Amino acid sequence: MAGHHYLPNTPADRQAMLNTIGVQSVEALFADIPADIRLKQPLELPSAVSELEILRMMQQRAGRNSNVDDYPCFLGAGAYDHFIPSVVSHLAGRAEFYTAYTQYQPEISQGGLQALWEYQSFICELTGLEVSNASLYDGATATAEAMNLACGVTGRKKVLISGAVHPFYRQVAATYARDLGFAIQILPVVEGKTAADQAVALLDSDTAAVIMQTPNFYGIIEDMAGFGEAVHRHGGLFVAVVNPTSLALLQPPGEYGADIAVGEGQPLGLGLNFGGPYLGFMAVREKYMRRMPGRIVGQTVDTQGRRGFVLTLQAREQHIRREKAYSNICSNQGLCAVMAGVYIAAMGQQGLQQIANTCMQKAHYTAQRIAAIPGYSLAYGSPFFHEFVVKTPRSAAQVNRALWDKSIIGGLDLATVDAAKADQLLLCVTEKRTKAEIDELVSVLEGLK
C-alpha cells in the first residue's frame, strides 16, 4: 500500500493492525469481493501536485465566479442578499458553537443550548406563536413537516396548498405526501393571489390543513385572516409560510389565526452560500408542541434552583421508537440557528423594522421607476413587500442576459417555473441596493425596450 503523507498511520502501524486482525495485507480484507469485479488498475486521476500548486489552481477557478460582492443582485425568490454584520460570524465561529453537534450532555453544553433557546424565543416573538423548535433543514422541509404535523393532529389526509406558495416548497411537500399517503390539492391563483372564493369552496371535513404564503412567491401580501377562519370552521389547521424579515412590519401569523408558522430563515444572518446550508424555522401553538419535529430546547432549573437548558419533548425517531416518531428529521441546522439568533439579537426590534422598511421602500421605488418605462409594466396591482413581478417587452431570459452583460444580477425568469410566463421577471430589492444601483438597473432596462 502506497504511503500518503496526510495519513497519520505509519506502515508499521498498519502492519500491526493487520497482524491483530489476523491478515497479512490490506488486499486480504477484500477477499470476499469477487476478483472479476475488482478494479485492477489505478483510478484515472491527475498526478499529485504540491499544496502551493493546488491552492493556486483553486484560486484561479474561484476567480472565474462572479457573486454578490462583485455584482448588485436583484434576485430573490426564496434566498435574499441582506447585509450581515460581522458580529454574526465572529460569535457563531467560536469553537463552542462551530464544532458542536447535538447537546446530548446538557451539563457541558449550556452555552449552545442557551443560544438555541434564545433563537427559539426570537422566532416565537416574530411569529406570535407560543413554541418554536431549534430549526429544520430549510423552508421547503419546514413546510412539508407542517403538513405532516397537521395531518397527524387531525387524522386527515387532504391538504390544500396555494399555487402561490413557492414551487420548490410545493414539490418537497408533494414528495412527503406521496410516501405518507396524503392528498394535495393546489388552490387556484388569480392575478398573483390565491383565489379566496374558489379556495374556500374546496374546504370540507376531510381537510387537514390549508397552507398559504405571505408575501407569496410573487411577492404579494395575501389576506391571511380570512383563510384561517375558513379552515378552522371545518376543523383543519392553518399553516402560514412567511418571510421572517417581513414580520418586522407585517402582522405576525399568531394574530391572524395561524396554527403553524414556517419559513426560510436564510434572511436572518445567513449568506446566499451558493444555495445552502439554510435554515427552516417552525413555530406552533402550545397544544401542538408535542408533535413538533426536530429538537426543542427547554428552560429548567437544576437541583440548586439555578437556571439551565435541556433538550426536551423530543418526538423524533432518534429519541423514541421509530414507529411512534412523528418525524424522521435528524441533524438540524443548529449552527445556522445560532447565527440567526445572533443576527436578531444584534439588530434588535428597531433594527429589524428599519431593515424591513428600507427593503419595502427601495422595492417600491424600483417598481415605480420600471413601470414608467414604455414597454414595461407591473404584472400585478396588489400590495407587495420587497419582491414584485415585471412584464418585459422581451423574454425575461434576454433581459437577464443584458443585465449580466452590464454586471447586474437580474431577477428570476418565471419561465423557469411556468412556461407561460416567459415575459415575466420576479425582482427583489433588499436594503443593500443603493439608489445608484437601482438607477443603473432602470437605465439598462430602458435601453432594451
Which pLDDT tens digits describe the chain residue by residue (449 residues)? 455 666 788 889 989 999 999 998 988 999 899 989 988 888 898 888 899 999 999 999 999 988 899 999 999 999 999 999 999 999 999 988 888 777 778 888 899 999 999 999 999 999 999 999 999 999 999 999 999 999 999 999 999 999 999 999 999 999 999 999 999 999 999 999 999 999 999 999 999 999 999 999 999 999 998 899 999 999 999 999 999 999 999 999 999 999 999 999 999 999 999 898 999 999 999 999 988 888 889 999 988 999 999 988 765 555 666 666 677 776 667 899 999 999 999 999 999 999 999 999 999 999 999 999 999 999 999 999 999 999 999 999 999 999 999 999 999 999 999 999 999 999 999 999 999 999 999 999 999 86
Cα-Cα-Cα-Cα dihedral of 361, 362, 364, 370, to 10°?
A: 160
Domain check: are 337 and 380 in the same one?
A: no
CA 227 – CA 240 distance, rounded (Å): 10
Residue 2 located in a structural domain: no
What amino acid is encoded at 91 in this protein?
L
Q: Is the domain of 124 the same as that of 209?
A: yes
User: Domain tally for the chain?
Assistant: 2
DSSP 411: -
Are 317 and 238 contained in the same domain?
yes
Q: Please check whether residue 56 lies inside any domain of the structure.
A: no
Residues 272 and 291 in one domain: yes
Distance CA(222)–CA(239), nearest Å, equals: 13
Residues 411, 271 within the same domain: no
Residues 259 and 322 in one domain: yes
Query: Structural domain of residue 407, as residue ranges?
Result: 348-446
- Supply the pLDDT for residue 222: 97
> What's residue 1's pLDDT?
45
Residues 129, 209, single domain; the answer is yes
pLDDT at position 41 is 87
In a domain? residue 49: no
pLDDT of residue 95: 87
CATH of the domain at 255: 3.40.640.10
- Domain co-membership, 298 together with 215: yes
Residues 337, 372 share a domain? no
Task: Flag whether 220 is in a domain.
Answer: yes
Residue 322 inside a domain? The answer is yes
Q: Do residues 297 and 309 make contact, with C-beta atoms less than 8 angstroms apart?
A: yes
The pTM assigned to this predicted structure is: 0.88
Q: Is 329 a domain residue?
A: yes
d(CA 86, CA 93): 11
pLDDT value for 165: 98
Contact criterion met (CB below 8 Å) for 426 and 411: yes
